[in-house]
Amino acid sequence: MSSEKPTGADDKRFETLSVTYGEEPDLASGVGDVTSPIHLASTYAVEGIDMDTALEDLEPDDGEFLYTRLSNPTRHAVEKRVAALEGGDHAMAFASGTSAIVATLMAAVEPGDHVVAFEDLYGGTNTMLKELFRDKLNVAVDFVDAADPEEVREATTDETAMLWMETPTNPLLRLCDIEEMAAIADDHDALLGVDNTFMGPYFQRPLELGADVVVHSTTKYINGHSDSLGGVTVLSDDDYAQEIGFLQQVGMGNVMAPFDAYMVLRGMKTLPLRMRQHEKNAAEVAAYLESHELVDAVHYPGLESHPQHDLADEQMDGHGGVLSFELAGGLEAVEHFVAALEEFTLAVSLGGVESLIEHPASMTHSPLPAEERAELGITDSLLRASVGVEHPKDLIADLERGFEAMRDATEGEVAEATSDDD
């Protein structure tokens, strides 16, 4: 299916761009590496004095490198490739997903502006919007349930500078309709930003659906091996790109390091292969969990029981590798379950080739007050899994170990209660 996805860049398909785009061998250098070298130099020799040297050119290309904070060839290769995969004209690579998000938002809003955000956002972005933008920068922020476009429409006014969305969200895998969000933003001359980390450009391309800007934590699927921290912003508007470039290079000096850029270039080569396997495994795990008596609910957009399954099929080319589920039992049952797992490692983060599991209430979403977690539906029995590319049968056998441990613990309690009665 997805192999026929055209992307526009050189009329090449996604798989081809993933492997080679942005890494043309440079025979003129006398070496011709087929992969981009890690350019560690902080500064570059220039030909001579040139009064036209354009320091304000925020996207210097080959031969125009001056200083690595401004532009670096390895980082530049990442930027070119991600722009091609997302279908945007410009990309900037940052030291983390968080720094991509803060620069993208800061370039779009001023004190006194208003932002409408999905209430079910990445925990760090939620805290950033409240404690940096609202409390320090005087930007009003409304959090709404964007799964219902009416709520977004009601919250958006002519003061609104930006709608900030994730779809699917973390950890409940709820969706918002990107085309609807773009229409609402347009009606108020606001921008629509989408954090596309969970699907990656292989499964979802928000710019094609009307978003103005897309960000990723490359730490997750784009790098894909849990061994590099990074972020990117992709967009097509020249002026907005110039503003973000200014913040990246001059306002904050926050750029992806050459070594990480090399890792991300390498990771991206297998992005389509990995995403296909993540999805296949996640679908099997989701179906297994959904039929299990010790599971109360499974949240995965690929399941027909997902309330927005049709929207998922409309706006995404697949359903991704992340799911969450609620165990039948309280915190103690959850503790027994995760302690018994061998393949799923108890850890935050997602998108790597290895399977991870985490407990949002005590880990990723612990900064949110308990009442807020309850309102969002993040219960103490909820677990989020990032399903890796191992054999799905081994993953299911691992989850079965967890359920066994839950059963043993309950039986132990029953036995104890009975013996107490004696």
Ligand X SMILES: *Cc1c(COP(=O)(O)O)cnc(C)c1O
User: Where in the sequence numbering do the catalytic residues fall?
Assistant: 69, 122, 195, 220
Where does this chain touch ligand X (CB under 6 A) — which range of 90-98, 184-192, 273-281, 332-340? Answer: 90-98
Contacts of 246 (CB under 8 A, 6+ apart): 58, 107
Question: Interface with ligand X includes 197 (CB under 6 A)?
Answer: yes
DSSP type of residue 117: E
Q: In angstroms, what is the minimal distance from the CB of 170 to ligand X? A: 5
Residues 114-143 as x/- pattern, contact with ligand X by CB under 6 A: --------x-xx------------------
**Please, are residues 219 and 96 in contact by the beta-carbon 8 Å criterion?**
yes
DSSP type of residue 171: T
Choosing from 39, 80, 90, 220, the residue that interacts with ligand X (CB under 6 A) is: 220
Which of 147, 184, 145 has its CA nearest to residue 163? 184
**Please, are residues 393 and 420 in contact by the beta-carbon 8 Å criterion?**
no
Choosing from 68, 126, 167, 170, the residue that interacts with ligand X (CB under 6 A) is: 170
Q: Which residue lies nearer to ligand X by CB, 79 or 398?
A: 79
Question: Interface with ligand X includes 98 (CB under 6 A)?
Answer: yes
Which residue is at the shortest CB distance from ligand X? 97
Question: Interface with ligand X includes 96 (CB under 6 A)?
Answer: yes
Contacts of 177 (CB under 8 A, 6+ apart): 149, 311, 315
Where does this chain touch ligand X (CB under 6 A) — which range of 15-23, 93-101, 185-193, 289-297? Answer: 93-101
Q: Which residue lies nearer to ligand X by CB, 7 or 219?
A: 219
Which of 122, 119, 272, 298 has its CA nearest to residue 197? 122
Where does this chain touch ligand X (CB under 6 A) — which range of 41-49, 92-100, 325-333, 374-382? Answer: 92-100
Q: How many Å is the Cα radius of gyration of the chain?
A: 23
Distance CA 394, CA 387 (A): 12
Choosing from 87, 231, 272, 392, the residue that interacts with ligand X (CB under 6 A) is: 231
Choosing from 151, 166, 177, 180, the residue that interacts with ligand X (CB under 6 A) is: 166
**Please, are residues 190 and 221 in contact by the beta-carbon 8 Å criterion?**
no
**Please, are residues 282 and 320 in contact by the beta-carbon 8 Å criterion?**
yes
**Alpha-carbon torsion angle 102, 70, 9, 176, nearest 10:** 0
Residues that bind ligand X (CB under 6 A): 96-98, 122, 124-125, 166, 170, 195, 197-198, 217, 219-220, 229, 231
